[in-house]
Amino acid sequence: MEHARQVEILRELITRLDDGTTCDAGRVAVNRAEAYTCEKLARQEWDTFFANHPQMIGLSGELPKPGSYLTCNDFRVPVLATRDQSGRFRAFVNACRHRGAELVSGARGEQARFTCAFHGWTYRNDGSLMGIRAAEQFGAVDKACLNLIELPTLEIHGLLFVHPREDGVIDADALLGDLGPELAAWGLGKAEYAGESVLDVPVNWKIANDTFGEVYHFNTLHRNTLANLLHGDVATYREFGRNHRICLASKFIDVMRHQPESQWTIRDGAVVAYYLFPNIQIVLLNSMLALAKIYPDANRVGQSLTRVSHYGLPHIASQLADTAAAQKLSGENLYAADMAKPVEFSLEASAELFISTVEHEDYAMGVKTQAAANSGLIKEFVFGRNEPALHHFHNNYREMLGQGPLPEYRAQRAAG
C-alpha cells in the first residue's frame, strides 16, 4: 500500500480513538434469521455465488514456479491448478478423460506431468494428453480431443481465480473494481505460502463470514486474546463496489502517533482486512497474511468449511526499521506482547491467532448463533450502525438474489 494511503488510514484511526467514534452505517437494520436456515435459499445461493461465479483459490505464491500445482475440491468441481512450463496459470477439471478418475490426489506439489492411477493415462501440466498406456490394445482415439477439460482462469495482483464452469467468464473489473490498484500496491504476488488451517464447523457460511465484519465484539469476546493487541470499538471502513476494506488499530498506534508521520507504517499501526465478494477474507497482520475462503456445505445449510491459508510477506517484514528491537511473537507469547514496542509475527503466532480467536471464540459463538436461528424462535438479527460491513455484505448478497435491501430496524413494543 502506498505510504500516503497508510498515513491517511492511520490518521483516521487516531482521530476516531480520540473522539470515541467508529465507522458508521448510518442506520440500524434487521436480517431475518431464516437467511441462515432456509434450504431453498441455500440452493439459490450456491447456484448464484459459487456454481456460476468466479472462485478465488489462492495467491500466486502457491504456484511459485513452472511445474507447481495445487488441487481444490471446495466448490463441487474437482480442480487441478498448474503453472505450466511457460509460467502460465491454468486450471482443469481434476479428472482423467478416460473414465473420470481423479487424476491428482495430492494437495500441492511440483510435477511436469500427471499419470492417472486408474489406467495410466498421462497428461502434461498444460492439460494435453501425452500418452495412453497400451494404446495399441485400447484402440484408435484422437488424443487432441481428450485433453483435460480446461476452466477459465485469471491471475491478477497476485490473486488466482478460477471459474467453475467451462464456459464461464471472469471479469476483473466486475470482481475487483476500484480495489484493484490498492491490492496491486501490496505486492501480494510476493507472498510466500506457509501452511493451512481448516475449520469445519456447524455454522451457516454467512454467519462465518459475518464474524470478520465488525470489531464491536473485540472488547468482550476477545477480551483475553485480540483485545491485548488491538483496540476494540474503532475501525475505518471503505467500500469498493461489492468488496470492502476494514482497518483495525493496533495498540502500538498509541506510540506511533508521537513519531514523525514519515516513520508511520500500517504494518505496525493497524491490521488491514479486505472482503472480496462473495466468500473471501484477506487479513494483513504485521508481516503475515491470512486468506480465508468460506464455503457452504453441500448438504447442510447450517454447516460450512473455512479454509485459511497462511503466507509470509518478506517484502513487508523488511520495512521494520529496527528488527533487533522488535518482539518476536510466537504461539506461546502472542497475547503477552508489550504493545508499547513494535512486534514481529511468526507463522506460529499467525496460526495461533486464528485458532484461539476465530475457531475457539468467533466460530464457537457462531455455533450458538446458528442453534438460535435453527430453533425458529429468534426471528431476526439486528445489525448496528457500527457494523457497516454486515450491512454491505448482506445488501449486495440480497441484490444478487433479487431481494430488496435489509429493512431498517423499527421498535415493536408489546401493547399493554
Q: Is 271 contained in some domain?
A: yes
Q: Report phi then psi at 395, rounded to 5.
A: -65, -40
How much is the average pLDDT of 343-363? 91
Least confident of 3-7, 154-158, 320-324, 363-367: 320-324
Residue 416: what pLDDT? Answer: 36
Residues 91 and 216 in one domain: no
**Residue 214 lies in domain:** 3-52+187-400
Reported residue count of the chain is 416
Residue 327: what pLDDT? Answer: 87
Distance CA(97)–CA(149), nearest Å, equals 8
Residue 81 · residue 64 · CB < 8 Å: no
Residues 136 and 191 in one domain: no
Residues 216 and 286 in one domain: yes
pLDDT range class, residue 140, cuts 50, 70, 90: very high
Residues 224 and 325 in one domain: yes
Residues 31 and 131 in one domain: no
pLDDT range class, residue 322, cuts 50, 70, 90: low
Closest Cα partner for 268 from 278, 253, 246, 254?
Answer: 253
Residues 201 and 323 in one domain: yes
Distance CA(238)–CA(384), nearest Å, equals 17
How much is the average pLDDT of 34-55? 97
pLDDT digits (tens, 9 = 90+) for 58-108: 999 999 999 999 999 999 999 999 999 999 999 999 999 999 999 999 999
Residue 346: what pLDDT? Answer: 87
Closest Cα partner for 32 from 415, 412, 398?
Answer: 398
Residue 318: what pLDDT? Answer: 76
376 or 416, which is more confident = 376
Q: Is 167 contained in some domain?
A: no
Q: Report phi then psi at 268, rounded to 5.
A: -95, -25
- Which long-range contacts does 396-404 make (Cβ < 8 Å, 24+ apart)? 396/242, 396/277, 397/45, 397/49, 397/206, 397/278, 400/48, 400/49, 401/41, 401/44, 401/45, 401/48
Residues 268 and 328 in one domain: yes
pLDDT digits (tens, 9 = 90+) for 49-69: 999 999 999 999 999 999 999
pLDDT range class, residue 323, cuts 50, 70, 90: low
How much is the average pLDDT of 206-233? 95
What mean pLDDT, rounded, does the chain reach? Answer: 94
CATH code of residue 257: 3.90.380.10
Check whether 243 has a pLDDT greater than 70: yes
pLDDT digits (tens, 9 = 90+) for 159-174: 999 999 999 999 999 9
Q: Is 332 contained in some domain?
A: yes
Q: Is 405 contained in some domain?
A: no
351 or 404, which is more confident = 404
CATH code of residue 132: 2.102.10.10
Residues 156 and 216 in one domain: no
How much is the average pLDDT of 282-299? 94
276 or 326, which is more confident = 276
Residues 132 and 238 in one domain: no
Q: Is 169 contained in some domain?
A: no
Residues 152 and 268 in one domain: no
Residues 258 and 334 in one domain: yes
Element (H, E) at 315: helix 314-317
Check whether 320 has a pLDDT greater than 80: no
Q: Is 407 contained in some domain?
A: no
Residue 414: what pLDDT? Answer: 42
How much is the average pLDDT of 188-201? 94
Report the domain count for the chain.
2
Residues 152 and 193 in one domain: no
Check whether 360 has a pLDDT greater than 80: yes
First to last CA, the chain: 57
Residue 415: what pLDDT? Answer: 41
pLDDT digits (tens, 9 = 90+) for 362-400: 999 999 999 999 999 999 999 999 999 999 999 999 999
